[in-house]
Amino acid sequence: MKNRTILLVVILGAIAIIGIIGMQTYWVVNTWNNEEGEFNQKVHLALYNVARSMSKLHNATLPTHSVVKQRTTNYYVVNIANEIDPGSLEYFLQKELEALALNIDFEYAVFDCHTDEMVYGNYCSYSPEKKPDLELGNLPKYSEFTYYFGVKFPTRHNYLFSKMQISLLLSVLLLTTVVFFAYSMFVILQQKRLSEMQKDFINNMTHEFKTPISTIKISADVFLNNPHIQQDQRLLQYAGIIKEQNQRLNNQVENVLQLARIERSNFELNPEPIDLHPLLQDIATATALHVEKMGGHFKTEFAPLAIHVHADRLHLSNVVHNLLDNALKYCKKMPHIELRTRKQGDYVEIAVSDKGIGIAKEQQEKIFEKFYRVPTGNVHDVKGFGLGLFYVKSICKKHGWKLHLDSTPDSGTTVRIQIATK
User: Which of these ranges, 61-65, 263-267, 309-313, has the smallest mean pLDDT?
Assistant: 263-267
Q: State whether 258 and 275 are in the same domain.
A: no
Helices 165-225 and 156-163, packing angle to 10 deg: 60
Mean pLDDT to the nearest integer, 30-50: 92
Res. 261: pLDDT tops 60: yes
Place 419 in a pLDDT band, splitting at 50, 70 and 90. Answer: very high
Give CA–CA dist 313/399, Å, rounded.
12
Mean pLDDT to the nearest integer, 28-47: 91
State which residues form the domain around 241: 191-263
Place 45 in a pLDDT band, splitting at 50, 70 and 90. Answer: very high
* Structural domain count of the chain: 3
Res. 266: pLDDT tops 60: no
Tell which residue, 292, 290, 297, 339, has the closest CA to residue 319.
339
Q: State whether 245 and 119 are in the same domain.
A: no
Residue 216 contacts residue 242 (beta carbons within 8 Å): yes
- The per-residue pLDDT for 310 is 93
Residue 322 contacts residue 396 (beta carbons within 8 Å): no
Q: State whether 86 and 156 are in the same domain.
A: yes
Q: State whether 140 and 280 are in the same domain.
A: no
Does residue 169 form part of some domain?
A: no
Res. 293: pLDDT tops 90: no
If you compute the radius of gyration of the chain from its CA atoms, what whole number of angstroms results?
Answer: 43
Q: State whether 133 and 24 are in the same domain.
A: yes
Angle at 50 between CA 45 and CA 51, to 5 degrees: 100
Q: Which residue would you say has higher pLDDT here, 31 or 6?
A: 31
CB-based burial of residue 320 (10 Å sphere; 0-12 exposed, 13-18 middle, 19+ buried)? buried
Mean pLDDT to the nearest integer, 17-36: 87
Q: State whether 296 and 391 are in the same domain.
A: yes
Question: Structure pTM?
Answer: 0.51
- The per-residue pLDDT for 130 is 61
- The per-residue pLDDT for 378 is 42
Res. 31: pLDDT tops 90: no
Res. 416: pLDDT tops 80: yes
Q: State whether 13 and 63 are in the same domain.
A: yes
Give CA–CA dist 393/389, Å, rounded.
6
User: Which of these ranges, 75-79, 209-213, 280-284, has the smallest mean pLDDT?
Assistant: 209-213
Res. 377: pLDDT tops 50: no
Q: State whether 17 and 148 are in the same domain.
A: yes
Place 380 in a pLDDT band, splitting at 50, 70 and 90. Answer: very low
Q: State whether 252 and 290 are in the same domain.
A: no
Res. 281: pLDDT tops 60: yes
Res. 1: pLDDT tops 80: no
Q: State whether 139 and 38 are in the same domain.
A: yes
Mean pLDDT to the nearest integer, 74-78: 93
- The per-residue pLDDT for 70 is 92
Does residue 302 form part of some domain?
A: yes
Res. 78: pLDDT tops 60: yes
Q: State whether 125 and 196 are in the same domain.
A: no
- The per-residue pLDDT for 150 is 93
In CATH, what number is assigned to the domain containing residue 404?
A: 3.30.565.10
pLDDT tens digit sequence for 384-408: 566 778 888 888 988 999 999 999 8
Res. 379: pLDDT tops 50: no
Res. 383: pLDDT tops 60: no
Q: State whether 416 and 343 are in the same domain.
A: yes
- The per-residue pLDDT for 202 is 72
